[in-house]
A = this chain, B = another copy of it.
Amino acid sequence: MTDAMQTAGDTEIFDRVESQVRSYSRSFPRLFTKARNAKIHGADGTEYIDFLAGCSSLNYGHNDPDMKSALIDHITSDGLTQGLDLFTNAKRDFLAAYENIILRPRNMNYRMQFTGPTGANAVEAAMKLARKVTGRQFIVSFTNGYHGVSLGALAATGNSGHRGAAGVTLSGIHRAAYDGYFGPDVDTAEMLDTQLSDPGSGIDAPAAIIVEAVQGEGGLKAASADWLRKVQAIARKHGALLIIDDIQAGCGRTGTFFSFEEIGLDPDIITHAKSISGMGLPMAAILIRPEHDIWKPAEHNGTFRGNNHAFVTARVALEKFWKNDRFEKAVKEKGDHLASRLEKIAQNHGLSARGRGMMRGVNAGSGERAEAICKECFKHDLIIETSGPHDEIVKVLCPLTIEKEVLDAGLDVMENAFATVFGQSHLAAAE
């Protein structure tokens, strides 16, 4: 025990020394000490089911034993930890695995750029590169899109809470409406094409269109395959690059490695972060079609673009989960099960479920109610959060590797919490 140790479970130091900006610890004010797959342990011994999973950065669960083992081997043998962008065996082996397991079987031809290890940095790099390739300034992003909070990425992000903290005028973005934004009868892709085809629209010819196949922070809205294909065609037609921001929806979250695989997209740039390292270690990258890889050396850089620990665990993740289709099939089955249980919860209360794969949620109708449900869940040892513009979606982002019975146990808690909160509000309404 170090001399900095305090009474188990004491969180008083956070109030004193950590900034007020912290957020999740407000919803789950416990001290957590251990975690394995879909379970997190509190200092008091309580075992929580984790339906948050590091906001989808823990798709393979907490502390996968094979990743742990490989990482410990790497550390033990004095493998490089921080390698800048030097060639290392850890990076080489990751690249080789990525090429063999991901790219080649999908007939994808891309180069990978390791950016600073945050999703925002991957987005910044993608936006810069698209502007460099096309010589254009504006990028089309969508309503309720989330792409990070550094200044360039923030301009593309829709959330007003984040945007309001910019402090300077956000620029370089034209905002378009996501699939279904104006209801099922309005084809928002066609609207975008209309605007881009009109030299008087005030929507300048864009450097890129950046889009999430499923909007995570935006409220688990899944775009239709048809709409995404149209968006790609629009990008091509107007000389813009297509950037798929796969940070949250990628790495198996929707059931395939990329969120757009079954849709048949062919993006110019793809962003990776969150679960790409496999174990939740900071890592981010962008995939670039070779003809667009026109960077000058170091033109976009970053000290931590060579997190070798992450390369080690990222390689293991590919080798363990993606060398054959077993994991993919399992995720799809689990996703279907999740869908049907959420659908039932939704129907119980006249609500709607949404999402794709294992990226799903239930619209609780209001942020207050969704918050109440999450609180109720936490009382019963389930960690679950909201998303959406009004924080109105109760969102399930559990590890893809969650055991069936743990998933069901968590969903049981969730189902009861909906019942409790809706029961209470019925009572409240009846009074």
* From B4, B82, B153, contact of A96 by CB (8 A): B4
Nearest Cβ in chain B — how far from A404, in angstroms? 21
Q: Is A96 a contact of B13 with CB atoms below 8 Å?
A: yes
A352, CB-defined interface residue at 8 Å: no
**A: contact size bracket:** 35 or more
Our pick among B4, B130, B200 for the contact of A100 (Cβ within 8 Å) is: B4
Is B124 in contact with A151, judged by CB distance below 8 angstroms?
Answer: yes
Q: Which residues of B contact A203 (CB under 8 A)?
A: 143, 175
How many copies of this chain sit in the oligomeric assembly? 4
What B residues does A145 contact at CB under 8 A?
202
Q: How far is the CA of A34 from the CA of B95 in the complex (A)?
A: 18
Told that A156-B202, A160-B204 touch, could you supply 12 new A-B pairs with CB distance under 8 A?
A19-B288, A19-B293, A21-B295, A21-B301, A63-B81, A118-B121, A118-B303, A124-B149, A131-B167, A151-B151, A152-B168, A157-B202
Q: In the complex where A13-B96, A57-B303 touch, is A293 in contact with B78 (Cβ < 8 A)?
A: no
B167 touches A168 (CB 8 A): no
A165 within 8 A of B: yes
Is B34 in contact with A85, judged by CB distance below 8 angstroms?
no
Docked CA distance A295–B165 (Å): 9
Distance between Cα atoms of A181 and B177 in the complex (Å): 15
- Distance in angstroms between the alpha carbons of A117 and B280 in the assembled complex: 13
A93 close to chain B: CB less than 8 A: yes
Chain B, Cβ-Cβ closest to A278: B81
Question: Can you name 14 A-B residue pairings with CB atoms under 8 Å?
Answer: A4-B94, A19-B295, A21-B300, A25-B85, A32-B86, A54-B84, A131-B166, A141-B202, A150-B152, A159-B199, A163-B202, A164-B299, A171-B172, A198-B389
Q: Are A32 and B75 in contact (CB under 8 A)?
A: no
Do the beta carbons of B127 and A167 come within 8 Å of each other? yes
| B32 pairs with A80, CB closer than 8 A | yes
Q: Given the known inter-chain contacts A80-B33, A143-B200, A171-B169, please indicate yes or no for A149 contacting B301, CB distance below 8 A.
A: yes
Tell me if A349 is interfacial: C-beta within 8 Å of chain B.
no
> Which residue of chain B lies nearest to A157 when distances are taken between CB atoms in the complex?
B202
Question: How many angstroms between the C-alpha atoms of A81 and B175 in the bound complex?
Answer: 36
Given A21-B298, A298-B161, A303-B118, A62–B81 Cβ distance below 8 Å?
yes
Tell me if B84 and A201 are in contact (CB < 8 A): no
Interface segment among A35-43, A250-258, A411-419: the answer is A35-43
Q: How far is the CB of A241 from chain B (nearest CB, A)?
A: 12
For residue A307, which residues in chain B have a CB less than 8 angstroms away from its CB?
281-282
Most buried by B among A2, A167, A302: A167
* CA A118 to CA B71, docked complex, whole Å: 22
In the bound complex, do residue B124 and residue A389 qualify as a contact, i.e. CB atoms below 8 Å apart? no
Stretch from A108-116, A260-268, A421-429 that touches the partner: A108-116
A128: interface (CB < 8 Å): yes
